[in-house]
Amino acid sequence: MSEEFKIEIVNPEKSFLVKEDVSEVVVPAFEGEMGILKDHISIISFLKPGIIKILSKSGEENYYVEDGIVEFKNNNLSILTSSIFNVADIDKSKQQDFLKKAEEESVKEEITDQSKYLIDQKIEVLKTLN
């Protein structure tokens, strides 16, 4: 029996990625990284900035997300996100760009604790890229 399930990543502009032969997905859920295998219980959670790791027959793929919602139901994993990038597409200059923006954001005074936490996460993840 195959241990595969379906993943669908959509962003507001289009359906970003659909894959039917996924064996494991690791998502950066708000309260910590979460690995999802087939027949996981139905769950809704949202994402913090981090890396989505998708393991399938065709190998491993990594995507960088800044926010989003995950929903898993009947072996269908849907990820709704407004900002997602393939890690392979992020080069040095792009990474620096993101980092600069995030750092600017983090020194603003009026941010709440929660968004401060999210931005710190973002900076940390961006630093680990490449």
Partner 1 sequence: MASLDDLKKRIASVKSTQKITKAMKMVAAAKLRRAQESAEKGRPYSEKMNNVILNLSSGISDKENAPKLLSGTGNDKVHLCVVMTSDRGLCGGFNSNIIKKAKSYFSKILSEGKELKIITVGSKGNDQLKRMYGDKIIENISFKESKNANYFDADKVGKIVIDKFESNEFDICTIFYNQFKNVITQIPQSQQIIPLNSEDSEENTSDESYEFEPDEDEILSNLLPKNISTQIFKAMLENSASEQGSRMSAMDNATRNAGEMVDKLTIQYNRSRQAAITKELIEIISGAESL
- What does the binding site for partner 1 look like in residue numbers (CB under 8 A)? 10-15, 29-31, 34, 41-46, 69, 71, 73, 78, 80, 82
* Least distance between partner 1 and beta carbon 80 (Å): 6
C-alpha angle with apex 19: 65 to 35, nearest 5 degrees? 55
Choose between 18 and 127: whose C-beta lies nearer to partner 1: 18
Pull the structure tokens for residue 30.
Answer: 């708000």
* Least distance between partner 1 and beta carbon 123 (Å): 20
* Least distance between partner 1 and beta carbon 33 (Å): 12
Q: How many CA atoms within 13 Å lie on the side-chain side of 122?
A: 26
Beta-bridge partner residues of 126? none
- Amino acid letter for position 50: G
Choose between 57 and 120: whose C-beta lies nearer to partner 1: 120
Choose between 33 and 60: whose C-beta lies nearer to partner 1: 33
* Least distance between partner 1 and beta carbon 13 (Å): 6
Choose between 31 and 89: whose C-beta lies nearer to partner 1: 31
Distance CA 32, CA 126 (A): 17
Q: Are 9 and 79 a contacting pair, CB within 8 Å?
A: yes
